[in-house]
Structure 1
Amino acid sequence: MPSNQTKVSKKIIGLTGGIGSGKSAVANMFAALGIELVDADIVAREVVAIGSPALAAIKQYFSEDFLNQDGSLNRSKLRERVFSQADDKLWLNNLLHPLIRSEILAQLHQASSPYVLLVAPLLFENKLNELCDHSVLVDVPVATQLQRTSTRDNCTVELVQNIIAAQMPRAQKQALADDTIDNSLALDHTKKQVTALHQKLLALT
């Protein structure tokens, strides 16, 4: 349950899933039902926008080579670096996580739908579940994660394996989640699960 310091007036539902699980597609299904989303990935991009103090710090630490020609962050290059260098990953997390958490809280407070969905790939790892009243895991087998992500992002299977290895094990997330959506089959199957869960979550509000 959220602490009193971070309590938002409406129910906060944490939605998570490993890379390539399809959590964004599931989140959009909830949005189509009128539920507002706060997406941690979008917030993470906002806090490193051009002109932000965080981007300036990243440039100073990693060098200009990690910026695109337009001055924006080269996210794919940075991702490759931090998933191969533990010290760099720790530095980046210490910089960004407090900024991301603060902005997430601000956006949660602004939401007006019956409940609000906090979409975060590292919901449990970054303890964002502490902000939530209920958690939902979008789940697929690891083999599906590897295939979807390497195809979608045009990256190596090895890189995807490193990303998965850096995240909480699938079984542990399954144990922590209050509900699980199986997204390994057809979209219609997923939509039926989302619709049923939506009704359950409305009852919690």
Structure 2
Amino acid sequence: MVFIVGLTGGIGSGKSSAGQYFSALGIDVIDTDQIAQELTQPQGPAIIPIKNRFGGDFITADGALDRKKMRSQIFSDSASRQKLEAILHPLIREEVSRRIALTRSCYIIIMIPLLFETTDYHHMIQRILVIDCDEQHQITRTMARSQLTQQTICAIMATQISRQERLQKADDIITNNQGMAYLNKQVIDLHKKYIMLSKQHPIIQTIS
């Protein structure tokens, strides 16, 4: 029996930092982005299907997904995005299911950047937690941690639902505009809340 919280937010909002704070509190955190990266490492389970579908040009010399080239492809062609998702999403769901079965914490955080853009996990999540910040913080943080240009970051943001829509769909919101200490405080407060909710509403969850 496990209580599941879906954690989401726009690019650069601080999802990973929030996830790390929940993990430090002893909560199992499943990161779907990390799973996707594992699946597309050299000899990863997704490599052969991706090569068969898109061609060898999208695979690096060491056998991993060429992320930069694929990013450019899926942003310019929605059909390519759908083809990639058709390969990755079932594999990610399978791994999420496996990790849920191994959990030992009183509730689970599943980090799903595009939670509202996909229906893959809606049937299994009891609450939705949105990590929110203003758009300038999103851009600044993403540029600081990656080699993406502001133009590319804005293009990524344009593929996601709006900030306002995300907030309207949230059960809980963490505002991440004021530094790590404030972020951690909000995580601790929600941790206490989720412990109580997990005791009140234990549900057996499976992924079909």
TM (norm. structure 2) is 0.89
Deviation at 1:27, TM superposition (A): 0.3
How far apart, in 1, do the equivalents of 2:69 and 2:144 lie?
17
For residues 139-195 of structure 1, the C-alpha deviation after alignment (integer angstroms, 9 at most, x for no partner) is: 011121112112321111111111111112111111111000001111111111111
Q: Give unmatched runs, 5+ long, in structure 1.
A: 1-8
The answer as to 2:86 corresponding to 1:94 is: yes
Kindly report which structure 2 residues correspond to 1:36-185, keeping only aligned pairs within 5 A, or say none: 36-127=28-119, 128-185=121-178
Identical columns (%): 37
Q: Which amino acid aligns with 2:2?
A: K
Deviation at 1:52, TM superposition (A): 4.1
How far apart, in 1, do the equivalents of 2:76 and 2:141 lie?
21
Cα pair 2:41 2:63 within 8 Å, conserved: no
Deviation at 1:196, TM superposition (A): 0.6
Q: Secondary structure at the match of 1:165?
A: helix
How far apart, in 1, do the equivalents of 2:178 and 2:68 lie?
29
Kindly report which structure 2 residues correspond to 1:189-204, keeping only aligned pairs within 5 A, or say none: 189-204=182-197
Deviation at 1:106, TM superposition (A): 1.7
How far apart, in 2, do the equivalents of 1:146 and 1:159 lie?
10
Cα pair 1:80 1:159 within 8 Å, conserved: no
Residue equivalent to 1:27: 19
4+ long deviations beyond 4 Å? none
How far apart, in 2, do the equivalents of 1:174 and 1:153 lie?
26
How far apart, in 2, do the equivalents of 1:58 and 1:203 lie?
43
Bigger shift: 84-93 or 58-67? 58-67
Deviation at 1:64, TM superposition (A): 2.1
Cα pair 2:3 2:107 within 8 Å, conserved: yes
CA-based RMSD: 1.4
Q: Secondary structure at the match of 1:15?
A: strand
How far apart, in 1, do the equivalents of 2:46 and 2:24 lie?
33
Q: Give unmatched runs, 5+ long, in structure 2.
A: 199-208
How far apart, in 1, do the equivalents of 2:101 and 2:118 lie?
20
For residues 93-148 of structure 1, the C-alpha deviation after alignment (integer angstroms, 9 at most, x for no partner) is: 12211221122122112111011110110122122233211110000111211121
